[in-house]
A and B are shown apart, each in its own frame.
Chain A
Amino acid sequence: MSVIDKRLAFGLAAACIALAGPAAAQDFYAGKRIQVIVPFSPGGATDVAARFLEKYLERHVPGNPDVEVVNRPGGGSVLGANWFAENAQPDGLTILFTTSSTSNPFVLGQEGVEYDLAAMRPGYSLPFGAVAYVSPTTGVTEATEVKDPDVPLIYGGIAAAASDLPGLLSFEVLGLDVKTVLGFPGRGPIRLAFERGETNFDYQFTPVYATQVVDMVAAGRATPLWTGGSVAEDGRLTGRDPAFPDLPSVYEVYTAMNDGAEPSGLAWDAFQAVGTATYNYGLTAFLPEGTPDEAIAAFEAAIPAINADAEFQTESAEVVGGYALIPPSEVEGPLLAALRPSPEIRAYLRDLLGTKYGVSF
């Protein structure tokens, strides 16, 4: 199903819900002000996405509340999320807008995490896909050749336990021998290092890929390989990323490399859990535990209407990679499952990060 088809489907669903929606949802947010807490500094990808959505939430959430983005940076988003867990009342008026930098420390059970994301209620979610690409100097022209590069692959990252985690796990799934250089100050400097030839293998998230890396691809200075994929009908991370329908997912690359065999085992399970939270539900708005159903219903009603908004569609293609928003009913099941992986997966993740990347817990 293409993005446009999905939007049409959401639009229809919106019409249905608008007709059937309880009057309570209409009134819940009337005359109120919603604060969206972004646990990062202004100007970053999460902040840009949150501010981009501000206008559409005001327009389409029943009752037309005021929406205001508030930045609470610190501790790689842990401080803002902790503050939210401690202070936000379950009245639907304070929302935490997260990325994998918030969810991965929670999944891993890192020190200092005082929030329980899995107990919170998702309000809406925006995918945050990522594309893997290599430099032509590696001699790799398509995904299946990645195991046999001309020169060793060097990947630049920030920190193993944060947003680089699914990328590193994809190397485990595919059995790649990649030299990982962690410790860059941000994903922008990583891209510059790639352009300078200091690294030759990189992942960038959709908005940056679409605005920066496509130019490099057009100029022949980068070769796209695959995306993290998206959650398919069966709830597994096997679908293609809707923003890049021409690129295979990690799942497809594995099957192509292994004569059609499906990936399995702990590495794949871990990649699925972390990848689902990082990519498919990359930017998710959480409301505190105990938030009334009326508040969630208001978002359930608003999301299809936003997706059907023509202005949103054009702007979203530019700002966030053209993804449609996902309503809470579709977020809840798969995301909460991904946030609560089995003890075996957690043990695997902690062991991998500890032995291979020197992360101490």
Chain B
Amino acid sequence: MLEHLVPALSALLEPARLAALFAGMLAGLVFGMLPGLGGVAAVSILLPFIYLFDSYAGLALLLGAISVIYTSDTITSVLVGAPGSPASAPTAIEGHALAREGKAATALGVGFLASMVGGLFGAVILSLAIPVAGPLVLALGTPELLMFAIVGLVFAAGMVGKDIAVGLAAAAFGILLGTIGAAPAAVDFRFTFGQPYLADGLSLTIVALGLFAVAEVVGMLASGGGISNERAPLGDWREGARAFVRHRWLVVRSALIGVFGGFVPAVGASASTWVAYGHAMRSAKDKSRFGKGEIRGVAAAEGANNATVISDLVPTLLFSVPGGPAAAVFLGALFSFGFYPGPRLVRENPELMYVIVWSVALASVAGALICFAITPLIARLTRIRFAIIAAPLLLIMVAGAYQATQSFGDIAMLLTLGVVGWLMKQADWPRAPVLVGFVLAKPMEQYFWLTVQIHGWAWLLRPGVLVIAALIVVPLLLRLAGLLRARRARAAAAATDGPALAPRKRERRVDTRIGLAFAWLVLLVFGYAAYETLGFAPDSRLLPTLAIVPGLALAAWIVVRDTRHALDEGVVRDPSAIAEIPFLATLLAYGLGVWLVGFDIATVVLLTWILLGCARMRLATGLAYAALILAGIHGMFALMRVSAPAGLLDFAILS
């Protein structure tokens, strides 16, 4: 097979094809940077344009975009703290924390290089794996896929942070979110309130944006005319290179995890990113910086997500079964060029295979280089008044969410989850476990149900399952041993120092009212879910029950604990959090406005308020800028072949 490497490269190096690859790459870079618009959006938007080219060039256009999305999303994640794509949420957590310490260049450098390595790894695996990966993909039966999901969840348990009750409750809440929609076992529609919008479950993009990005935008708006006070220096690129070299093996291991995740059909880049992040956490001796700016988290996440999207192509090309959502669109493109993936295509058209490999490899390297080049330009944007950036960012997020199903439900869900994300941020609940629980709930339930039906309980003894289970059990035992040792050491220390152990304290002084309100909210959600779950068929009850039972107990305990805490030590007030509430309310009002009067009118009002009210721009510049943003968003809608959301008023006028 390898004798086709060189002819395939020369086939790709034709000017028109290179130009297509480059164009796709540029589009991918832009879409990676725009929060909420990830790989699926980019390939869907590029899809109509592939027919302008010959087949290789058309595919190169899509591959160029797929290969760099998870490189450039690092920029937004680190500089703004809003994940550029759902799979870069760990980067947003760790990288943004680093950026706040003035180490943006370290996070970005590691992120870009890890992405590049992940991409190259994916390309190498793709070229090597095509002849041999068939048996491997087939070896992964439903029991093995189930075990993979469980490993992910157990790894994720390492992310719960200091306050274990809160972290576990958050994970349970995420699993509960993941059970919304059609149950795989019996055809129950769970927690859909009769809305067809919820029948498919929530969109990952919307959950990630709602939990992480909306809260950031609210914060930016609230700081209004403020400028990033310490002129957000990028820091030293060399430090990034050094950190990358220091963690090179972690990047390689994460890339391997990512490659493995890609082999599993229908498990997206998000799942393997979290598994890799969990791995980084487990393999680190000092876990204290995770969640507060740990470069290892960035290295693992970026190494994994790029490798996954590329190795998603392995099942796609070998079995016509897309490994992820972007690969599904790519598969459609292959069909329309008359290529029908499968062992036959691999055998009969090796040149095509290696054109794909080369496209991915070239784009991965070039994409990382371009990211290095443009970052200083983009970093300058962070010195602009926050509210000025927040305006287009918010609208791009709304457009990105709206592209999921193009119904008002997308916007309503984004804002609802935005409120949840904001409350969690203010109440100091970790948001990562929610996302992990959400991402893994569906495959876990689906594969559990299939496995038990097909294999009974004999699945537990399958060799593949045992190997994957060993990945959990062995580290768990090691950790247990470590904990016991630590406890003994602490006990010895306590004996000498006396009983002066301070009670565990939260990192930040959380406003008691917000903290309690959110704890009550979670308790009520679990309580209601428990009530509704009673009406489900027994087979649909399993996963919700697994989330609700611990969730309800933990939430009740947190409510009691925090109430007693407040009674004992008095109410803590956090004026900066309270000051953000009107801005959050305004976003909700904006959602209501879109529903009532449609996108355009509501957006003009919102932009006027943000630019003239919050950012205090001059009338003329403000209006010009608003017009520019509005035109840009409409350009995006046109590209996505989506019409801007209409309101009730528009419908009334039409009819």
Interface residues of A (CB under 8 A from B): 41-44, 47-48, 51-52, 68, 70-76, 78-79, 82-83, 111-112, 154, 156, 159-161, 179, 181-186, 188-189, 191-193, 195-196, 198-199, 208, 211-212, 215, 315, 318-319, 353, 357-360
Contact = CB atoms under 8 A, between A and B. Distances in A.
Contacts of A159: 182, 187
Interface string B440-461: 0001001001100111000000
Nearest to B330: A43
A74 B185 contact: no
Interface string B172-211: 0000000000101111110000111101100000000000
Which residue, of A179, A183, A193, A359, has the highest number of chain B Cβ atoms within 10 A? A183
B622 interface: no
25 contacts: A41-B325, A42-B44, A43-B328, A43-B331, A71-B44, A72-B405, A74-B196, A75-B405, A112-B199, A161-B187, A181-B450, A183-B446, A183-B449, A185-B446, A188-B320, A188-B322, A192-B138, A198-B454, A211-B342, A319-B335, A319-B336, A319-B338, A360-B186, A360-B188, A360-B537
A160 B187 contact: yes
A52 B328 CA distance: 16
A75 B329 contact: no
Nearest to A113: B196
A122 to B, nearest CB: 23
A107 B70 CA distance: 43
A74 B320 CA distance: 22
A358 B642 CA distance: 37
B340 A318 contact: yes
Contacts of A74: 196-197, 199-200, 404-405, 407
B429 to A, nearest CB: 30
A347 B174 CA distance: 39
Contacts of B407: 74, 79, 83
A189 B329 contact: no
B142 interface: yes
Contacts of B44: 42, 71
B322 A43 contact: yes
A76 B142 contact: no
Interface string B577-595: 0000000000000000000
Interface in B118-142: 137-139, 141-142
Contacts of B141: 193, 196, 198
Given A112-B194, A358-B186, A44 B328 contact: yes
Contacts of B185: 183
A192 B195 contact: no
A192 B265 contact: yes
B292 to A, nearest CB: 37
B227 interface: no
Which residue, of B188, B189, B406, has the highest number of chain A Cβ atoms within 10 A? B406
B466 interface: no
B158 interface: no
B362 to A, nearest CB: 24
A111 B193 CA distance: 11
For the complex of A and B, the 8 pairs showing the least CB-CB separation, nearest first, are A43-B332, A188-B321, A74-B405, A183-B184, A112-B196, A211-B340, A358-B186, A43-B328
B573 interface: no
A232 to B, nearest CB: 31
B329 A42 contact: yes
Nearest to A199: B454
Contacts of B47: 42
B343 interface: yes
Nearest to B406: A72
Given A42-B332, A68-B641, A159-B187, A75 B454 contact: no
